[in-house]
Each structure stands twice: as structure tokens, then as C-alpha cells.
Structure 1
Amino acid sequence: MIDPVQPGPSKRGERIAGGILLVSVLLLIVVLAGTFIKLPYAVERPGPVTDTLGSLDDGSDLVQVTGAKSYQTEGDLYFTTVRILGNPEEHINGWEWLIGHLDPDSTVLPEKDVFGEDRTEKEIEEMNTAMMQGSQDNSTAVGIRSTGTKVPQENLVARVGEDLPAEGKLKPEDVITSVDGTRIDRVSEIVSAISDREVGEKVRVGIRRDDRARTVTMTTEDIGGGRAGIGVGIEPKYDYPYEVSIDAGRVGGPSAGMMFALAVHDVLTPGALTKGKSIAGTGTINDSGDVGPIGGIHQKMVGARDADATWFLAPQDNCSSVVGAIPEGLNVVAVGTFDEALTAVKSIAKGDGADLPTCEK
């Protein structure tokens, strides 16, 4: 009887070595593909938080007042941020995309949802800087007004859209004084007065140009979503009674507006608004004190929790994204205006926060 010939040790070793080599090559291909394949997505992660009542690296206060009495305070009023990985000029790679999906505290979004269409990194930075400046201007006005001091303002045409009703009829620097014969003092009220009609209806806008008053009549058009408009951007120009400066460092965007306004109120009024408690929050603010929604609410709540804040003020319009995403140990209060935010902080400071409105009730 002749035994069948079995592969010798050398052949078995060659097969094992070949298998290892094949797996190594495949792994190398996967690693290289994940590293060098770029994807048009951005990853939102929790960013740092900054105390609006705190100090800068040089020891100066983040909020400073010149020309009026200010007061020492304590506690924390944190504004929260989102760290964004990726931009239209530097896409994330496959591994960053995968890790973003696996991390429960991150959100992966198409770049266009984060940055808009066809914007360069420089344009994005300039836009965020402009929005931060506008946010600080509104916050200063709202904060000062909350103390009972008047802050006059003029509402200027900042931009006129092409091929829209205002083109050729309004110009940048025109001061809008009325809508349909009614004097209006706030930008938000002008926008509401114009849009509160059917598309195709006429609107009479009173303006001042070169110190001369005039009235311009236009027919509204659909500026998106069936909303009536004339195609202008309007910005307030404030006449502050004294100087308030806010230094947020390199942070951009408008989402810290509500927290800035609370800080301005605090330093202009005696006593500590928070009574030593740590409160975080986010939300835009307009010249009427309305609090608006922001992006990255989940990441901002996580950042607040990581900073040991136990309370968080969230815009009402973000409630659909808040429910089911609140980090353990964080109490979230829903606010729609500066006055509601101020009332919430005072209630939390007194230990009466349990009955404040939340996104669940």
C-alpha cells in the first residue's frame, strides 16, 4: 500500500505566507482608500465653551463697559460652540467620515448643509465674522435696553438682490422708516410687516435718502417657501449711549447672541445674575430680543455637560432636535425671547428652575 503524498512543511508555509501577504495587501488598500478618498461631508463635534463673564488670556474681561458704571459678578454664563471638521476646500477622508458616524456625539452632514452652495473657505470665514459682529451689536443693544436705558437705532438697507422688486428702487444706506404708512423701529418688525401679505401684493416702504423722505411702492415676490418679500437685506445701526465691547476671540457666527446679551445685562446691573451657578446656552438674537435657532444643538449640549454646566438654555425652535438628545445630568430650558432667558436665569439662580418650560412640556 502506498500512502498519498502530503504537502511538505515548506509548501504549507508558502501557502500561509501567501495568505498573510494577500490580507496585508488588502488591508493596505483599505487603509489607503480610507485615507486618500475625499468626501464632500463635514463632521460636527462638540467644541469648547467660553464663559461670557470670564476673562481673556491677558486678564481683561470678555465683556467690558466704558462710559457707564459696571459691576463685578460671579458664576458662569457659557456660550457653546461646534467644532467642524472639513470644508469645501478640504474634504474629510473616508476614515473621518466613518468615525463621525460611529461617534454618538458627532453628526455627519453634507457640506452644502453646513456651508451653503459654492462658497470658498475665505468666504465662509468672512461671513462668520460678519455674523458674529452683527450678533454682538444686537446683544449689546438688547442687553443695554434690558436695564431701562434707550438705544436708538436706524434700519439701513445693506444689500439689494438682483432681479427682485427692490432693485432700482432701493439703494444701500437708505434708511427704512415705515411700512404701509406705519412707523417701524426694529428690523424684525420691518421684515414681518413686509412678509405678512400674499405674494404679488403691493407694499409701500417709507425711506430717508440724502436727508429727504420719500415713499417707494413695490410688488412683492416669492423669495422662498411662498414667503412675500422685496429682496433686501436690512441691518440696524445703533446709537449706543456708552461703549460695550465683547471679545469672543476667533469664534464666528451668530449663535452666541443670547448669552452675550445676558452677560451685558449682568455686568450692567448690581449683584450676580446667576448667584454663582454655571449656566450654558445658545441662540441667535435680533434687535427685538427674539431668540432664534442654531445648528449643532446636540454637540453644544454635550460641550455644556463636559464643562460641568447643569443648566442649558436652548432656543424653542430647536426643540425638535433637543428631545431625546439631552446628555445625562443636564437640565434644558426652552426660551424664545431674551426676557424669557433672563427670567430663566433668575429662577435657576434662586433654585426655582424645576417649573421652567422645557422642550418636553
Structure 2
Amino acid sequence: MPRRTATMLASTLVLFALLCAGVFIKVPYSEMSPGPTVNTLGDSHGAPVLSIAGRKTYPTSGHLNMTTVRVTGADYDMSLVEAVYGWLAGDNIVVPHENLYPNGKTEAESTQENAEEFSQSQQSAKVAALKQLGIPVTARVIVSTVVKGSPAEGRLHAGDVIKSVDGAAVNAPEDVAKLVTLHKPGEPVEFTIVPAKEATEAAKAGAAAPATSKVTINAGKAEGDGHAIVGIRAGTDHTFPFTIDIKLADVGGPSAGLMFALGIVDKLTPEDLTGGKFVAGTGTIDDTGKVGPIGGIQMKTIGARKAGAEYFLTPAENCASAASHVPDGLTLVKVSTIDDATKALEKISKGDKAGLPSCTG
């Protein structure tokens, strides 16, 4: 066999072996890619994303699209070839598996966490939107979760309204822990509550607050510094003056909060918030209307532009990352609060692009 032919054959075999090795060698990485976008003013799977009953609503136009990111599953084993391809692909990002699933988090645990965050983001979006419009929202401190095996198990239940601890009024979730830790482990802590079922029925009927009950729990001892605990997490529940339903399947996490809130504001406002423009965006939101950062910002801007967005509402803390790779034809708009976002939309609806707060690298 001629030397040249032998060399080419050997090179081909080596290349083939390397390719085979690349397919079978697994690497600890995951992939992020642009996910679908959904117009919060429109429908998803044949049903409105936002439905409001018991309050006058107004016609809307344009788009206020929330954006998503696709990620490989917790159990997905990425090959070396797939990792290299992902690094080279312009619209995808390959990141360490630990970044998406820290501490060995399973697929089920991640799904459950995302579902809880998504549910909380909907509540905060409703609160922020109504506060932006000056519509009163009633808040109350509740038992959010009860830790299994804790002193509170069987005594307090998720949804119970906490009125006071040891006779001291509770006005915010953090008040509960402060009052409990005034005790020593083993000491009794008296909770004045409205049981969850009675509180829910009264809220639905618009009736007066039901009678309270007193529950005494002997405090346990926390691991570490040994302070007193009862084994609950306190949270906030809100009573809205009318019904707001948010329905969106196959989406998790808190990053759609801002766009849900803006969709609610638009439907409850006589003026057309977008002026028919295609606006997309992202960002968490809290009850006060503060917009927080999210992950995968570059993937979301790519997905938004592919869907047709011309403007992208960007959390201030994500601006630098987003500005480092802006899809052609997309204008990044910097926002820190829902008020920032509504003012930006007013400018967008009027075509005042020059007056928009922009993101810089």
C-alpha cells in the first residue's frame, strides 16, 4: 500500500475514533437555548392568558410578550460532541451543569421549585399591578409551610392567618420569627390565628373576619445557634377586590412577573399601553413593584426578536449582559420598577424611541 494512502487511511481511522469517543464521552455541562414567547394580552392553547372578572376591562392591542429559556434536563448526559456544537452554535449557551442544578438537584425538585416560584410571581404581579393603578389590596400574614416533624406540625396548618404571637400584633411575615426567637427552646409560644378554611370561606363570601383561635406550641431548638423555633415559614396572602386569573401551561420560575403585571395594567387601563407595538420583556417582580434580575437574558432577547419584538424591557441588573449581545432590530429598555416600565411603554406607544432609558454594556 502506498505511503500516502496508508497515511490518509490512518488519519481517517483516527478521526473516526475521535468522533466516536466524543459521542460516548460525557461531560458535566447543560445547554440553554431560546424558548417560546407568549403574549400576555393574548391566548395560549386557546384560552386567554389573563382573565379579569368583576371589574371593567378595556381593549388592548400590540404585544406584551413574556419570554422563556429552554434548558436540558437534570438527568441529561451531554456528550463532548454536543458540548462543542453548543459552544459553536450562535443561539445556544453551554454552561456547567451545576449552574442549573446546584447541589445535585433532581428534575422533580427543580420542577416543583419552578412551579412554586411561578405561582408566587403571579400573586406578586397582581399585587404590583393593582398598587400601580391605586386599587386597594388587602394583605394578611399566613402560615406558608409547616416543617415536617417540627413542634408546629398538626397544630398550625398552611393557610392559617396569623394575627398575633404572644399577644403582639403580626403585621409582616418577618414579625413571626422575631417574636418566636424572644423565647428559649422549650418555652410555650401562643399564636392567635384564624384557621385556613374559615379565613378562605370568609374572604370568598366577602364576610367579616371570623373568630380567632389560640394555639400554644412549645418551641423547639434550631440546629446551629440553638435559637427557639416552632417550625413554620410565614408568608403573605392577598385578598383582591375582583378576580384575576393567569393561565399559562408548561412554564415555571418567577421571571414572567413583570410582563404579567403589565398585562393586567393594560387590560384595566382605558389608554392602550403599547400603542400596537410589539414589546417583549422579562423580570421578577415583588409586591412593591420592584423588578429583579433573571437568568438566560441573552437567550430571551434572541427568542423575543425571532418572535418579532422590537422592544425588550430589561431588568436593570441584566442590562450589561444583555447589551453585550443585542439581536439586530431589538431595542433594550432598562427598567427597575413597574412604574419605569409603564412610563417606558408610554414613550414606546408614541414612538419616542430617543427618550427611552437604554441598556449599556
1:30 aligned residue: 18
Q: Within 5 Å, give how 1:208-357 maps onto structure 2.
A: 208-209=192-193, 211-212=212-213, 233-357=233-357
Deviation at 1:178, TM superposition (A): 8.1
2:358 aligned residue: 358
CA–CA distance in structure 2, aligned partners of residues 293 and 234 of structure 1:
24
1:91 aligned residue: 77
Among 43, 63, 78, the alignment partner of 2:31 is 43
Contact 1:177 1:206 in 2 (8 A): no
Deviation at 1:144, TM superposition (A): 3.1
Q: Residue deviations 1:216-259, cap 9 Å, x none?
A: 9x9xx9x9xxxxxx997443322122222222221111101100
CA–CA distance in structure 2, aligned partners of residues 65 and 241 of structure 1:
11
CA–CA distance in structure 2, aligned partners of residues 328 and 182 of structure 1:
55
Distance 1:274 1:30, change over 3 A: same
**1:56 to 2:47 alignment:** no
CA–CA distance in structure 1, aligned partners of residues 162 and 360 of structure 2:
40
Deviation at 1:168, TM superposition (A): 5.1
TM-score of the aligned structures, taking structure 1 as reference length? 0.77
Contact 1:297 1:322 in 2 (8 A): yes
**Unmatched segments (≥5 aa) in structure 2:** 184-188, 196-211, 225-229
Segment drifting more, 295-304 vs 350-359: 350-359
Contact 2:176 2:234 in 1 (8 A): no
**1:68 to 2:27 alignment:** no
- Code of the residue aligned with 2:275 in structure 1: it is K
SS at match of 2:266: helix
Distance 1:234 1:113, change over 3 A: farther
Deviation at 1:52, TM superposition (A): 0.9
Q: Residue deviations 1:152-200, cap 9 Å, x none?
A: 12232424679xxxx7589664645689x78645xxxx56x899x9xxx
SS at match of 2:144: strand
SS at match of 1:34: helix
1:117 aligned residue: 103
Distance 1:274 1:101, change over 3 A: same
2:203 aligned residue: none
- Identity between Structure 1 and Structure 2 (%): 36
Q: Within 5 Å, give how 1:119-138 maps onto structure 2.
A: 119-138=105-124
SS at match of 1:108: strand
CA–CA distance in structure 2, aligned partners of residues 99 and 147 of structure 1:
48
- Code of the residue aligned with 1:47 in structure 2: it is G
Contact 1:44 1:83 in 2 (8 A): yes
CA–CA distance in structure 2, aligned partners of residues 232 and 337 of structure 1:
31
Segment drifting more, 123-132 vs 320-329: 320-329
CA–CA distance in structure 2, aligned partners of residues 116 and 237 of structure 1:
29
CA–CA distance in structure 2, aligned partners of residues 234 and 320 of structure 1:
35
Contact 1:40 1:88 in 2 (8 A): no
**Root-mean-square deviation over aligned CA pairs:** 3.6
Higher Cα radius of gyration:
1
Contact 1:176 1:206 in 2 (8 A): no
Segment drifting more, 256-265 vs 309-318: 309-318
CA–CA distance in structure 2, aligned partners of residues 249 and 99 of structure 1:
30
Contact 1:135 1:256 in 2 (8 A): yes
CA–CA distance in structure 2, aligned partners of residues 235 and 333 of structure 1:
32
Among 68, 77, 92, the alignment partner of 2:64 is 77
CA–CA distance in structure 1, aligned partners of residues 64 and 75 of structure 2:
35
Contact 2:347 2:355 in 1 (8 A): no
- Code of the residue aligned with 1:276 in structure 2: it is G
CA–CA distance in structure 1, aligned partners of residues 164 and 321 of structure 2:
37
Deviation at 1:215, TM superposition (A): 12
CA–CA distance in structure 1, aligned partners of residues 335 and 232 of structure 2:
29
Deviation at 1:291, TM superposition (A): 1.1
- Code of the residue aligned with 1:244 in structure 2: it is I
CA–CA distance in structure 2, aligned partners of residues 161 and 319 of structure 1:
38
**1:141 to 2:127 alignment:** yes
CA–CA distance in structure 1, aligned partners of residues 307 and 339 of structure 2:
25
1:5 aligned residue: none
SS at match of 2:81: helix
Distance 1:240 1:44, change over 3 A: same
Contact 1:87 1:111 in 2 (8 A): no
Q: Residue deviations 1:51-105, cap 9 Å, x none?
A: 11122232x3221122222222100001111111x33311221122112222343
CA–CA distance in structure 1, aligned partners of residues 129 and 135 of structure 2:
9
2:208 aligned residue: none
Q: Within 5 Å, give how 1:10-29 maps onto structure 2.
A: 11-12=1-2, 15-29=3-17
CA–CA distance in structure 1, aligned partners of residues 358 and 169 of structure 2:
37
